[in-house]
Chain A
Amino acid sequence: DIVMTQTPLSSPVTLGQPASISCRSSQSLVHSDGNTYLSWLHQRPGQPPRLLIYRISARVSGVPDRFSGSGAGTDFTLKISRVEPEDVGVYYCMQTTKFPFTFGQGTKLEIK
């Protein structure tokens, strides 16, 4: 199975400041079709996850443009340009290149 490793596991941030989460996969996420199926999700307490970004950098409709994804191969990053109160919660990276699909451990974003 592909292991997804996120850093940091906890990130205290100041409102209005940027935040960054890294995700590394144990093998390349480039699919045989040429696409890289790396997504980012956000989960608030008591809620199901919400898809933010798919295929490394494509934002889901309705997701604010302060969220951006980047990376290639085995190293990926989610950036929030200016953290808002509603951004708190846990962020997961997810690979759907190879089954079984796997998730990172999660990064808890908290407000300082």
Chain B
Amino acid sequence: EVQLVESGGGLVQPGGSLRLSCAASGFTFSSYWMHWVRQAPGKGLVWVSRINTNEGITSYADSVKGRFTISRDNAKNTLYLQMNSLRAEDTAVYYCVRGGEQLGDYWGQGTLVTVSS
């Protein structure tokens, strides 16, 4: 069974940092692009970042470019999102999403990041 389990969310002050993790299981993690998508409370879905299978290609939404860094450890079957210089508008549930032919076929349950003083 495919599982994606996010962790690392929490309350952080503006300007602070957090590192999200996504533990993957039930599939060959190293064979799939992976993505982060976020959803602010009561709002819609927004793509944040993506990474290819071997970290050779990464892409970011303009709103997080230069502040967030996506990475992966294929040996640990884990996806990461390092978030620096956090702003109030980064407050959201962050979802780890599997890529591939059916992009978005698996989503984690999400981890809530709250940026507030």
Contact = CB atoms under 8 A, between A and B. Distances in A.
Interface in A63-106: 92, 94, 96, 99-106
A54 B102 contact: yes
Contacts of B101: 54
A60 interface: yes
Contacts of B35: 101
Interface string A3-31: 00000000000000000000000000000
B45 interface: yes
Interface range, A side: 20 to 34
Interface residues of B, number: 19
Interface stretch (B22-30, B66-74, B78-86, B104-112): B104-112
B102 A94 contact: no
Contact of A103 (B46, B95, B107): B46
25 contacts: A37-B103, A39-B103, A39-B104, A48-B107, A48-B108, A49-B45, A49-B107, A51-B102, A51-B104, A51-B105, A54-B101, A54-B102, A54-B103, A60-B102, A92-B44, A92-B45, A94-B45, A96-B104, A99-B47, A99-B50, A100-B62, A101-B50, A102-B47, A103-B45, A103-B46
Given A48-B108, A106-B45, 11 more contacts: A49-B45, A49-B95, A49-B107, A51-B102, A51-B105, A54-B103, A96-B103, A96-B104, A100-B59, A101-B35, A106-B44
Interface of A: 37, 39, 41, 48-51, 54, 58, 60, 92, 94, 96, 99-106
